[in-house]
Amino acid sequence: MSLPADLHMHTPLCRHATGEPVEYARHALELGLTEIGFSDHSPMPRDDFDDWRMRNDQLDEYVAKVRLAQAEFPQLTIRLALEVDYLPGHEDWIRELATRHPWDYFIGSVHYVSDSWDIDNPAKLSEWKKRDAFEVWQAYFERLTLAAESRLFEIIGHADLPKKFGIRPQQDCTPLYEKFLDAAARAGCSMELNTAGLRKDCREIYPGRDLLRLAFQKGVPITFGSDAHAPAEVGMNLAEAVALARSEGYTETCRFRQRQREAAWL
């Protein structure tokens, strides 16, 4: 079985990943992957917004690092992308970012449910104790729905990220998932199966089977990503993610070139 494209990986510029893009690419080739995409954490309008992304003045350096990997390994398709944080009010900033380089795709991710709380940040785990889990999930999916509706992104990243630390609400989240997925289907936005969740406390791919089942019913296309923050994580558990997608009925995945979607057999 050939593996699908791994469209989610980082570089040391985000300050919490190790290894150069050439090393990620080399590992991808060793695994037999034919396509990967770099999607490092994009800069924010203010460089002091947080400490886990590249600065504005590093965007060109990021692109140069990816170009270097492309030149080194012409036998591997290497896409140029960004994982962009969606925050309401950042739309113009995101459009501006889009004009700065010939990106192949943008992954839209919600990490922040407010301007100050990135829910997946281990340093802010105590915030979870102050909140009702369902309220966090509601706030998160409200933003994820806006991200899908915005048409600023080709892919929505790690769709049920709030489960990262294993904290889950008692309530049924189906209505939240449906609203998000209806928006994604309308906007023609795809959703990634991100295997990083298997390496976190939740021990589960993002998104879980319940959300994925609804996505298939609603015709939302899927992509795959390891969310590698080190070369050895490239392609990690992708076969498992493919098995999950197939078991829910998916027979196709997609790729992106110059922000245009192409379907591929799974």
Amino acid at position 230, single letter: A
| 103 to 122: interface string for Zn ion, x by CB under 5 A | ------x-------------
Q: Which CB sits closer to Zn ion, 109 or 226?
A: 109
Q: Report which of 248, 255, 141 is spatially closest to residue 192, judged by C-alpha positions.
A: 255
Give every CB contact of residue 252 below 8 A, 6+ residues apart in sequence. Answer: 221, 263, 264, 265, 266
Closest residue to Zn ion, judged by C-beta, is: 109
Q: Which CB sits closer to Zn ion, 1 or 123?
A: 123
Token code pair at residue 30:
């060793």
Tell me the closest approach of the beta carbon of residue 83 to Zn ion, in angstroms: 5
Q: Which CB sits closer to Zn ion, 58 or 109?
A: 109
3-class DSSP state of 145: helix
Q: Report which of 30, 12, 29 is spatially closest to residue 20, judged by C-alpha positions.
A: 12
Amino acid at position 239, single letter: A
Tell me the closest approach of the beta carbon of residue 227 to Zn ion, in angstroms: 7
Q: Which CB sits closer to Zn ion, 109 or 253?
A: 109
Tell me the closest approach of the beta carbon of residue 10 to Zn ion, in angstroms: 5
Tell me the closest approach of the beta carbon of residue 114 to Zn ion, in angstroms: 17
Amino acid at position 138, single letter: Q
Tell me the closest approach of the beta carbon of residue 232 to Zn ion, in angstroms: 16
- DSSP state for residue 5 in the 8-state scheme: P
- Token look-up 């113009």 returns 92
Q: Which CB sits closer to Zn ion, 51 or 72?
A: 51
Select the span of 43-51, 58-66, 90-98, 102-110 touching Zn ion (CB under 5 A): 102-110
Give every CB contact of residue 264 below 8 A, 6+ residues apart in sequence. Answer: 4, 5, 252, 253, 254, 255
Residue numbers at the binding site for Zn ion (CB under 5 A): 109
